[in-house]
Amino acid sequence: MRDLKYLLKQSYENSRALIIGINKYLKSPPLGYAVNDAKEMKDILIDELGFEAENVIYLTDSEATKSNILKSFLSFTSESVKVDDRLLIFFAGHGHTKTGSRGEVGYLVPYDADMSDYSTFIRWDELTRNAELIRAKHILFIMDACYGGLAVNRDIQAGSSRFLKDMYQRFSRQVITAGKANEVVSDSGGPIPDHSVFTGHLIEGIRGKAANEHGVITASGLMAYVYTKVANDLSSDQTPHYGQFDGDGDFIIAAPNIGKLSDDEKKDIDELISIPYVEVIRSELTLDDKVEYIKELLSSPKSHIKIHDFSIEEVRLFLAGTSEDNFSVSGSYSDEELLNRISSYEKYTKDLGAIFAVIAYWATESELDVLRKTISRASDRLIGSQGGLNIWLNLRWYPLLLLLYQAGIAAVESKNYQTLSTILYTKLGDSDYGNDELFFAQKLSSGIGELTRNEIFKRIPGHERQYTPLSEYLFKQIQPVIDNLFFLGKGYETSFDEFEVLYALVIADLRLQAGHNCWGPIGRFGWKFSNRGDYSPFVRLTKEAASLKDNWLPIKAGMFGGSYERFEKAGSELRQTLGRLNWW
């Protein structure tokens, strides 16, 4: 199945909702403000957030029977609901929890529930399982009820940032409840008269208090806001429970400037926004455990052997996943197969990429051999001739490109240019000085360059008309990984651009040393040069180098043969190439 990020739009096609509020129960104690909460949510969705009235199902009191709630919810499984739709489910009423042999089971209590008969309740996991049948890319459950048994996770760490348009293209199923099992919902006393504590803060969050500096409100940002407010409200004894039970996207509640981010499809200008997560709730910590372990090893000067062994084991797993057994180099080409391979390569590179980036960020002289060995062993099978379809043969370099970008950006951010130099200038295979392409950077750029020249990466949906589709794609694909590891925020773009400029200049210099014409892989910094001139990343970096010459950190780390003159020549000739692009 093709990765959804290639299919989904950077917007919503339709907005749908199911709003439920129950004050008067047939056999359960009444509530005071649940219907008020539901009505206010309905009015906000329609009057303020652009939901069409005919797309909002509204059930209150005697209408909110178990049968009607489930029937209404399952109506969204209809073919009329599109993959680019968003769906919001709001429930204000009683919740209930029962402890079973495998833990807590959470229930919603409909109007006609009998508290002595569990068959009359609605199990929470019945809704989550049936959510699989709904095609809408983003579903947000907001439950003003307390109950347990929510299996949610938090894939993005505290302080993370994401690109707004990227969130639209990632699948998500998110939930926030007013409280956990055995907590009592505060049905009054909130910040807004005639509303519960939970929904009162929820309404204030939706109306702007949960917005970031750009006016953007995401489900994750709203969750964090409501969590903090409700947990600390003097009228509340409840602690909201929230997270994701599927996917890694984010329900966009409000994005006032989304249409203005970029009218030029050739330049993927986007907005980086912070996601203020408060707590971490995870069921599995596999990759996080690995990252924490390698950080612990890096902090000890006596852990060199353990770092080596741990890294090599991850390389073995990477090689097993990306082998020709999983990625045959024969067979015909199709766009669908291309996208499947890119997504699969990303999956198999995820763990090693994060670990490699962490080592690159904190590496000392002791870890440089581990970096070299990781690159060498990961590249071994790509060296030498092999039969097969050229596009599949060259695409085998894509996982190595991911490793390079993640480690390179990390190294640039930490000013660890010795790490970057080590990786770029790692010698591969049995190359000798009679070979023009001695180094990893050269081999990689040749393999990927062949794909770029044939405009293969313009086959990625949303990147068809861009000047630098691969660079634009990697810019967003790598950002969540790097930001989660190092919390770069808005500094990510600066480090990304600096890495790409250095990478291009290294290739340009090596080509000049071999007697070839000047060329380097041009990324997003290319159109920035055309648009920003002296304020572009390329010009800023070359000016910095000119002011420091041989004392410039990349030169001192041995890049460009440790010679500013070599760097200056490569920079001068590559600048001429950039000047001829005319990318406006």
Neighbours of 390 (CB within 10 A): 12
Please count the residues of the chain.
584
Residue 13 confidence (pLDDT) above 70: yes
What SS3 string covers 120-150? HCEEHHHHHHHHHHCCCCEEEEEEEEECCCC
| Cα(559)–Cα(420) distance, integer angstroms | 9
Q: Flag whether pLDDT at 394 surpasses 90.
A: yes
Between the alpha carbon of residue 183 and those of residues 123, 180, 227, 239, the distances in Å are: 18, 6, 14, 8
Rounded CA separation 399/216 (Å): 33
- Widest CA span in the chain: 87
φ and ψ of 465, to 5 deg: -110, 10
Q: pLDDT above 70 covers what percent of the chain? A: 90
Check whether 263 has a pLDDT greater than 70: no
| Over residues 240-259, mean pLDDT | 84
Look at strands 86-92 and 138-146 and give their pairing. Answer: parallel
Sign of CA dihedral 5, 54, 199, 119: negative
pTM value surpassing 0.75: yes
Which tens digits make up the pLDDT trace of 478-524? 999 999 899 888 899 999 999 999 999 999 999 999 999 999 999 99
In whole angstroms, what is the distance from residue 329 CA to residue 411 CA? 33
What's the CA gap between 59 and 75, in Å, rounded?
A: 14
Strand partners for 162: 273
Q: What is the pLDDT of residues 427-476, one digit of tens each?
A: 997 544 445 668 999 999 999 999 999 999 999 998 999 999 999 999 99
* Residue 438: per-residue pLDDT: 85
Is residue 452 within 8 A of residue 522, CB to CB? The reply is no
Find tokens 């409909």 and name the residue: 110
- Residue of 406, 428, 431, 421 lying closest to 509 (CA atoms): 421
DSSP code of residue 261: S
Listed in sequence order, the residues at least 6 apart from 289 whose beta carbon sits closer than 8 Å to its beta carbon are none
Q: What integer pLDDT is reported at residue 159 of this predicted model?
A: 60
Strand partners, 218: 252
What pLDDT, on the 0 to 100 scale, is given for residue 244?
Answer: 86
CA angle 443, 449, 454 (to 5 degrees): 145
Q: Which residue has the higher pLDDT, 68 or 277?
A: 68
pLDDT in tens, 110-158: 999 999 999 999 999 899 899 999 999 999 999 998 877 776 765 555 5
One DSSP character per residue, 11-77 reads S-S-EEEEEEE-SS-SSS---SSHHHHHHHHHHHHHHTS---GGGEEEEEGGG--HHHHHHHHHGGG
User: Kind and range of the H or E element at 218?
Assistant: strand 217-218
Residues 450 and 393: beta-carbon distance below 8 Å: no
- What is d(CA 309, CA 326) in angstroms, rounded to the nearest whole number? 25
Tell me the sheet residues that pair with 80: none
- CA distances to 10, 216, 250, 566 from 258, rounded to whole Å, are 9, 9, 15, 44
pLDDT band at 301 (very low <50, low <70, confident <90, very high): confident
Mean pLDDT value of segment 24-42: 93
Neighbours of 316 (CB within 10 A): 12
3-state secondary structure of 398: helix
CA-based end-to-end distance of the chain: 37
What is the residue type of 469? Answer: P
H or E element that contains 336:
helix 335-362
Domains and CATH numbers, the chain: 4-275 (3.40.50.1460), 285-489 (no CATH), 490-584 (no CATH)
Tell me what the mean pLDDT of segment 36-46 comes to. 96
